[in-house]
Amino acid sequence: MKNTALITGASNGIGMELARIHASKGGDLILVARSLSKLEELKNELEGRYKIKVYTIGKDLSVIGSAAEVFNETTAEKIQVDYLINNAGFGDFGMFAETDPNKELQMINLNITTLTQFTKLYIQEMMKRKSGKIMNVASTAAFQPGPTMAVYCATKAYVLSFSEAISNEVNDKGITVTALCPGATISGFQAASAMEGSKLFDNKNLPTSKVVAEYGYRSMMKGKTVAIHGIFNYLMASSIGFMPRALVLKTARMILSKPK
């Protein structure tokens, strides 16, 4: 396989669009998600349209150790991963005292633990070659605490901080690390997170997954460390450091709430 990108959470949304973009550039793919049937559909589409190779792995990445299983499989198949795109992740909506603790543990495992393990395993191979690109999908939620989405926002803050730190560590090793920070996007995220009706998604002009994926892919190829999609999102993220923390919390609570 040539110019290969491994993309997690590739069965829908931003991950699926990233796969389409990479395939259109002539690059091969390793696609990972829980739904193998959806990945096989995407594989057939992309191999037929672009004459590239797609390797699919059905895997629940919220399970501890799943990243190592994927790494061992790609190693056994002698597939070199040139681009690692950690896109898989999910959120949950509700007061922390009332939300499902098991779902939150799965969220932490997926959004933080698996992402970290994937990065550790593949960056070591990239270091040997002195080349490679990594993109970790964070969120504009990474820039402030999020009442009613407390755990999700905290996981994305980790992704942003982690990505910036290792970007600095490898910036002279031929490797780039990008944290993609999209805002609210038209995708399956709001349904999976039980956020239908939230003021965050009460906007008729939200970007599509395709638009965000195109921006993220361009940013990764340029080696941009933090890529915040949308001028409004960029201004909001940039201004948070100058606002009193109490006001940041109040504003976040208002945005994430559902209309009464």
Angle at 152 between CA 150 and CA 158, to 5 degrees: 105
Give the list of residues 6+ apart from residue 108 with CB closer than 8 angstroms, or none: 151, 155
184 close to 161: Cβ distance less than 8 angstroms? no
Q: Is 156 a catalytic residue?
A: yes
Q: Which residues pair with 58 in a beta bridge?
A: 33
Element of type H or E holding 5:
strand 5-8
Catalytic residue among 50, 55, 83, 152: 152
Q: Which residue has the tokens 């941009």?
A: 224
d(C-alpha 257, C-alpha 147), whole Å: 9
Catalytic residue among 156, 158, 210, 217: 156
Q: Is 224 a catalytic residue?
A: no
Give the list of residues 6+ apart from residue 177 with CB closer than 8 angstroms, or none: 133, 134, 135, 136, 163, 166, 167, 170, 225
Measured torsion, CA atoms of residues 237, 241, 244, 249, in degrees rounded to the nearest 10: 40
d(C-alpha 192, C-alpha 199), whole Å: 16
The two tokens of residue 4 are 């290969």
Give the list of residues 6+ apart from residue 168 with CB closer than 8 angstroms, or none: none
**Residues annotated catalytic, as ranges:** 152, 156
